[in-house]
Structure 1
Amino acid sequence: MYYFLSHLSSTDIWYTSCVTPKLIGDLVQRKSISYRNYMSQILAMHFFGITEVFILTVMALDRCVAICRPLHYMIIMNRARCSLLIVSAWACGAAHSLSQFSVITRLPFCGPNEIDHYYCDIFPLLKVACTNTYVTGVLIVANSGMVALVTFVLLVGSYIIILFTLRNHSAEGRRKALSTCGSHITVVILFFGPSIFAYLRPPTTFPEDKIFALFYTIIAPMFNPLIYTLRNSEMKNALRKFWCQKTFLDERQN
């Protein structure tokens, strides 16, 4: 679990670093970006974003094995297999981003160069292209839709298997097993919900896109460390001790 979390945290750092510094800079100065930097941000965003999607899917499969086959867990999820799953996640992220990138780099641009978004996304770019982008939009939606469909099926399937297995457990066993999945389910909802709304639809843009994009570009990666940290009993005890000491000192000063 911690091996996968280390890769998830690394992906979160790189993922948010692709958009947050530029967003902060745009808030204090002229909002502009070169064509090369625009394309670079699209490539990086899709690479790290899809890699995070696959890492979250791998973590769901890991929880499924841990709960359904606890005695064989160390054999099934050995270090070699975990490394293979992580390498596959990074490779799938690279394949997806490169395929999207190869499609949009062929688009001509000769007219308006303003987009209604706070980071470089594909759909706003299609809107300002000087050609018919219907086929390109269909290819992009099909690519993103395939990724979303495969990962969604794996996620739902893993939790269905977990719930089916827990039928024969005691109430205490079910509570402990489901508590280990609570953090992962929270992260998946924060990340997948807005992402599905943004990419599983016809290639159009809406003013609400910026609000939903905040969840999967900034909010979800920012809360991931907090969500998983609060599952650690030692961290919870340390926080409880810190707040108790702070409350005691405040009362003593008063």
Structure 2
Amino acid sequence: MRTLYARMAQLPPQLRMFMEDCPPELAAKRDRINCRQIVTRNVLALAAGVTRTACWHLAPEIPGCRDRLNMMGFLFGKLALLDYDGTGLTRRHPPADTFALLAACLDGTSHVRRIDVGGRPDLYAFEVSRAGRGPLQVLWAAGDVFTGEDGPGVPVDWPWPHPTVHGLDAFGSRVPSNGTAAPCASAPRSHRCSSPPARRQYPGPEEMPGASGDAGERGRMGNQREAAGHACGSGG
């Protein structure tokens, strides 16, 4: 660990972002990656038949503990959801807001099913069935975890049988979508969803839109790439 810190300036950013005193822009990127992977990994696990997940780790065990030479801290310390403010465990890191948003969106989930998207092997799409609530759909496109957010967003045309559409990304921000009129009353609408800027302010839990839905509504919450946040959804 001492050797790593002695060579910190020469290390690749994918490693430096887990180290103490890394540049603020790398710390922010690490948080965005963590937010996206909280969504993707939980949804993949639920679609594979897992019925309960937990996010580790929640917070440091004691306040004020910072040991840059500790191997466990190096591996996992920067992924904590919470931190101490003095002696109170009240400081939320951005991934804590994503975890709370995901938990709210998945509340009442009975089944998660992957949707076959045919000629789009890069696209991951899932339908979430929730007791007493409308289904939720989660979409993202495969991309490089570290550099994917630096590229342009990937538009997605998606059939949608409802009159309105609402989308959230993994950070709780609204995703723009454009609906096109259906050719006939019985045909589903098609919506094109475009990726928002990857860097944005993280909302607090009281500001999170779309964290709950009424029965009969449908929504999608997720991220457009593993490295570029995006989601589309609908609500009545």
* Length-normalised TM-score, structure 1: 0.27
Q: Which has the higher strand share?
A: 2
- Structure 1 or 2, whichever has the larger Rg, is 1
* Length-normalised TM-score, structure 2: 0.28
